[in-house]
Structure 1
Amino acid sequence: MRIALVTPYSWTYQGGVNRHVQSLAEEYISRGHYVRVIAPFDPPDRLSKVLHRAEAEDREIPDYLIPVGRTFGINANGAVSNIPLFPSGVVETRRAIEEGDFDVVHLHEPTTPANGWDTCLSSDVPVVGTFHAYSTKPLPNYIANAVGARRTLNRLSARIAVSQAAAWTGRRWFGGNYTIVPNGVDIDAAPTGPKPETDHLRALFVGRPDERKGLPVLLRAFSALVEHAPARLTVVGADPDDVHRILAHPELSDHLDLKGRVSNEELWRQLHEADVLVAPSLSGESFGMILTEAFAAGTPVIASGIAGYSDVVTHNHDGILVPPADPQALAEELQWAHHEPERLAEMGEAARESSQRYAWSSVADKVMDVYERAIEVPEPRDVADRVRRRFGVTPSDGLPWAPAVKLPSLDPVPEGGSGRRKGWIRKAAIGFMALFGLGLTAIAAQKIGVDQVAEAVVRSDISWVLVALALMASSLFFRAWSWFFIAKSALPHSGLKRRDFASATMIGVLMSATLPARLGEPARAISLARHTGRARDTLPVVVGTIVSQTMLNILAILLLGAFVLSSMDSVFHGGTRQILLFSLIPAVLLLAVIAAPTILGNQSGKGRLARVGAVVHSVMLQVRRGLTVFRHPRNGAPAVALQLFAWVIQMLSCWALMFALGLDSQAGLAASAAVLLAVNVTAVVPVTPSNIGMFQVAVIFVLHKGWGISTADALAYGVILQAVEMATAVALGVPAMLREGLTWSDLRTQAIASAPVELEAYPQRKRSQEERREVTYTR
């Protein structure tokens, strides 16, 4: 049979999908089939490093590989996917399929745009699609279906899923019929024989330093383990520099063996010599080939109890499942692995037996059955049926259509089962507050006259609006630069770069624009702390740097108030004084933070209250470290200057909008300063997302009362000013989130992963199987 294996992922940035494709190709070639792998190929040059932010592997091109151009690294599903986005790759893939005269085209990850979709739509031979990914996020899948993913996938002659998790993804978002064929493992290549003897626990991690692989969680757990048991952790696949960057404690490096990228032979050796493989992924894994390879080498695993891994690991038989993002649970299981080697050895034998289910000889037979079924799909009954298949209205696999259906989650049930309910309550509360803010704006517009407000908005000069947008955006970069100098004093050896502060600032602005109660502040603190590699230790200090920046903001507000008072008549002085007094509330809170360590003192007593007091005292001391910039003029002077200059730029942005609405003759720079003062004071604790409603009320109050501008023009000004702020937040925040590969839930997970881990001395008696941790899932 003539077989084309098409993969969208770069051959020189190897991942699980390409390893699967390579092994499947070599298995079929050994059986006498004609096989060609069509895949992108990035040479190990400077351009590849720029496009992927990592060096390409220097690999030889095998005889069966047809390279089809470069790829671009994008953050997707918590990892970096190296996929072809260039037209040349699509053209070369199509040409290779047309010239190959293949009997079947086997497309891996058909949901991938460009190569994947074009292969589905353009190929005249049967196309079999294998779904590898596990995706639970609605938005990207809704967008994909909106632009035609479901109809495109209906062109497939057969569908394969590598696991129940991958099949769940297909059935949930795209519909269709799926044959589950797992990833295979080369049983014959796995080492045999006893493991080398040692007096310490040998743990192994294999994977890239992607966020979802959970390496920071493992390092946090391992730092607690080595205090109670002799152990070494070998890290394969992750660059040593990346590992050192995320170390919670530098002294942990004495217990690490960092191998970086290794050959297949070396990987098999590491798998065989390890006592246990640790796979602490947070989410997004559909199968986990490394688990089955560890099984083949006779090595049990301790893995996160996520959907893809729970399909492979039988809890308490060939491995252990632990809650994801829980370093405490992971540390406890590693401690058990050291103290009960006999039970661990029994699991290793069970793991080797379990690996037989994934032997390539069996997997290749199942895939071949799907090929034959795809080739034998009946021809369309008539012209109408042919047209429906051609346009993806009906499936091309000859099976009854199975529409997409809402399925229960495969992820672990949160403890107490109330996580989802609390999530819905939180979302409902945010939605209610947003509607409340919009209602305030609508009521104001109704009383003023919607037509007058709309007319004022329509007649605004777009060129001045764009100037205001550019000024607003540039002010954020100056704020980030100021933060950099503040942190330089508090964290002089952190290795943080200016772009880290820029990304964290933009993420914080985006979160503040979409969530109430200034949740952008903790978001940017967590986002920056994760770059230090010691999030638990440095997060309070980072919070302290934000406190320092807040003090500079209060100084800016006071200066704005003084400028406004000196530029206005006495009629409006009383209201301005009230605004200034209200702005001093956060200043009082800041003084409390500064004085807290002195008031609490060094808590050395006994009891729960004393321990809590000691923890609070320690955290407050770390927060106060963030204020050290004011003792270092070399960093303090530029920090103050840049922060105040950012406020000046924001004031100029507000002034530009006066020109946009033709209000510059009535209200000048002082009015712009008053608007900036009012909206920032009302946003001290915003009640609604982005302070909608209160924002417009504050603008109307200032411009109408202070400068006699009509309420219609004042409301129009408030609407446009907030639109400029929102547009700035989205335009800068979304790219920053993509660069960091983060969502709001990811930021929350980072905080969980940085939680302290404390192990007690291991009990002398062994835990029975009934006492072992149970992990519950929905199916």
Structure 2
Amino acid sequence: MRIGIVCPYSWDVPGGVQFHVRDLAEHLIRRGHHVSVLAPADEDTPLPPYVVAAGRAVSVPYNGSVARVNLGVRSVARVRRWVHEGDFDVLHIHEPSVPSLGLLTCWAARGPIVATFHTSNPRSRVMIAAYPMLQPALEKISARVAVSEYARRTLVEHLGGDAVVIPNGVDVGFFADAEPKAEWQGGTIGFIGRIDEPRKGLPVLMRALPRILRERPGARLLVAGRGDEKEAVAGLPDDLRGRVEFLGMVSDEDKARLLRSVDLYVAPNTGGESFGIILVEAMSAGAPVLASDLDAFAQVLDGGAAGQLFPNEDADALAAAAVHLLGAPARRAELRERGSEHVRRFDWSTVGADVLAVYETVTAGAEAVAPDDRAGFLGRLGRTRD
């Protein structure tokens, strides 16, 4: 099958959607499919052979963060050329409601389109305001996928229609087989995320840290991610700052090794999460997980059975739970076992098969319709259950 995948966010800056697109593309390629990914990227960005650069991205505020997207005039011609030359059996657009390449591809496409919605935001003013512009493009979508029930709910409330829920995928074996790193072991707490993005929750963890470190004198925090390290520890007492180690940006291999090494992985995110891929990666690596009780996180953690939850933004509750878990090896072993079992449903062997089933459904449906009727047929499928 010839598959074109559109990533709305810049390939230069790592993020959950980019990782999902990358891993899906590589899974499909291993399965023998021809895959091309269109994504914003600077000209000097090293790209995998299956990625086509659509030009430089610009930063815009979106969903409590800053998204790097591409909607320039030059991109219109690039999108049309990529669609025409690719001669794809199916186009898979991620976040078509974001003002970026996905929207342009919807306008340019003539064949079957699958759209995946990642955003979970029940009060998205952007989506509400943009609906009149989005509607003609969204009507061309053949099938809709949401990465979680909360992303599906956002789609239904803001854009109408419905979607099948297919979670983000993870190569469970990659994390499970990673080799722990000796210097990252021994009373370590892990955090991975952008340091200077408040919704990732590092400030909450920093408020909890003094109690954790004083009650567990052998503990330390390892932080992987980009941002202002001095600003991150500014609120900590001087005598505790040395027990926080910043690793900067880490490779995929080192991320897996870090998650295999820590005694506890903490996800203190405060909102704007539709799934929680880092939780799946941590469980895959066998790390006991302590996470804020966001709806999406609770779902990924099987309601708290596969990882422990604490009240969102409650630093005292986070500290109490972390202190308890660091001193309770039996409880950590229980969480590790439950997480390792639960995470199998997110492996690409399962998720990839579900995505392929959607592709096969829409391509079979399009082939069954006379060419002159296909545009109307695809539009009707995109409006299913409106």
Q: How does 1:339-378 map to 2 (within 5 A)?
A: 339-377=327-365
Amino acid aligned to 2:272: G
Measure, in 1, the Cα distance between the counterparts of 2:37 and 2:168: 17
Q: Is the 8 A contact 2:267 2:290 kept in 1?
A: yes
1:189 equivalent in structure 2: 174
Measure, in 1, the Cα distance between the counterparts of 2:251 and 2:178: 21
Asked if residue 178 in structure 1 is aligned to residue 166 in structure 2, the reply is no
1:129 equivalent in structure 2: 115
1:216 equivalent in structure 2: 203
Where is the strand percentage greater, Structure 1 or Structure 2?
2
Give 3-state SS (helix, strand or coil) of 2:115's partner.
strand
1:683 equivalent in structure 2: none
2:380 equivalent in structure 1: 396
- Once the two structures are TM-superposed, the CA of residue 388 in structure 1 deviates from its matched residue by 6.0
Equivalent position to 2:230, from 228, 244, 264: 244
Measure, in 1, the Cα distance between the counterparts of 2:193 and 2:160: 31
Amino acid aligned to 1:329: A
Give 3-state SS (helix, strand or coil) of 1:227's partner.
helix
Q: Is the 8 A contact 1:134 1:169 kept in 2?
A: yes
Where is the helix percentage greater, Structure 1 or Structure 2?
1
Q: Is the 8 A contact 1:204 1:274 kept in 2?
A: yes
1:87-118: CA deviation from partner (whole Å, max 9, x where unpaired): 22232122111111110011011111242222
Cα separation, partners in 2 of 1:192 and 1:29, compared to 1, 3 Å: closer
1:538 equivalent in structure 2: none
Measure, in 2, the Cα distance between the counterparts of 1:375 and 1:199: 49
Equivalent position to 1:79, from 65, 83, 92: 65
Asked if residue 169 in structure 1 is aligned to residue 154 in structure 2, the reply is yes
Measure, in 1, the Cα distance between the counterparts of 2:88 and 2:55: 21
1:344-365: CA deviation from partner (whole Å, max 9, x where unpaired): 1111111111111111111110
Equivalent position to 1:68, from 51, 54, 57: 54
Cα separation, partners in 2 of 1:216 and 1:43, compared to 1, 3 Å: farther
Amino acid aligned to 1:237: G
Equivalent position to 1:327, from 306, 310, 315: 315
Larger Rg: 1
Asked if residue 338 in structure 1 is aligned to residue 309 in structure 2, the reply is no
Unpaired stretches in structure 1, ≥5 consecutive residues: 45-58, 404-779
2:293 equivalent in structure 1: 305
- Once the two structures are TM-superposed, the CA of residue 9 in structure 1 deviates from its matched residue by 0.8
How many residues in Structure 1 have an aligned counterpart in Structure 2?
380
Cα separation, partners in 2 of 1:365 and 1:388, compared to 1, 3 Å: closer
1:294-325: CA deviation from partner (whole Å, max 9, x where unpaired): 11101121111112212201344221111111
- Once the two structures are TM-superposed, the CA of residue 75 in structure 1 deviates from its matched residue by 2.1
Unpaired stretches in structure 2, ≥5 consecutive residues: none
Q: Is the 8 A contact 2:306 2:335 kept in 1?
A: yes
Q: CA RMSD in A?
A: 2.3
Measure, in 1, the Cα distance between the counterparts of 2:374 and 2:12: 39
Equivalent position to 1:205, from 191, 194, 205: 191
Cα separation, partners in 2 of 1:200 and 1:26, compared to 1, 3 Å: closer
Measure, in 1, the Cα distance between the counterparts of 2:319 and 2:145: 37
Equivalent position to 1:228, from 215, 219, 234: 215
Q: Is the 8 A contact 1:201 1:337 kept in 2?
A: no
Q: Is the 8 A contact 2:178 2:285 kept in 1?
A: no
1:4 equivalent in structure 2: 4
Q: Deviating runs (4+, > 3 A) in structure 1?
A: 191-200, 378-383, 385-390
Q: How does 1:420-499 map to 2 (within 5 A)?
A: none
1:158 equivalent in structure 2: 143
Asked if residue 111 in structure 1 is aligned to residue 97 in structure 2, the reply is yes
- Once the two structures are TM-superposed, the CA of residue 206 in structure 1 deviates from its matched residue by 0.7
Asked if residue 35 in structure 1 is aligned to residue 23 in structure 2, the reply is no
Give 3-state SS (helix, strand or coil) of 2:215's partner.
coil
Cα separation, partners in 2 of 1:14 and 1:381, compared to 1, 3 Å: same
- Once the two structures are TM-superposed, the CA of residue 250 in structure 1 deviates from its matched residue by 5.0
Asked if residue 294 in structure 1 is aligned to residue 282 in structure 2, the reply is yes
- Once the two structures are TM-superposed, the CA of residue 218 in structure 1 deviates from its matched residue by 0.7
1:255 equivalent in structure 2: 243
Percent identity reads 38
- TM-score (normalizing by structure 2): 0.92
Measure, in 1, the Cα distance between the counterparts of 2:53 and 2:185: 47
Cα separation, partners in 2 of 1:74 and 1:21, compared to 1, 3 Å: same
- TM-score (normalizing by structure 1): 0.47
Q: How does 1:489-638 map to 2 (within 5 A)?
A: none
Give 3-state SS (helix, strand or coil) of 2:317's partner.
helix
1:98 equivalent in structure 2: 84
- Higher relative CO (Cα under 8 Å, sequence separation at least 6) belongs to 2
- Once the two structures are TM-superposed, the CA of residue 138 in structure 1 deviates from its matched residue by 4.5
Cα separation, partners in 2 of 1:316 and 1:140, compared to 1, 3 Å: closer
Q: Is the 8 A contact 1:314 1:320 kept in 2?
A: no
Q: Is the 8 A contact 1:160 1:180 kept in 2?
A: yes
1:277 equivalent in structure 2: 265
Cα separation, partners in 2 of 1:288 and 1:386, compared to 1, 3 Å: same
Measure, in 1, the Cα distance between the counterparts of 2:181 and 2:50: 38
Measure, in 1, the Cα distance between the counterparts of 2:354 and 2:375: 31
Q: Is the 8 A contact 1:157 1:377 kept in 2?
A: no
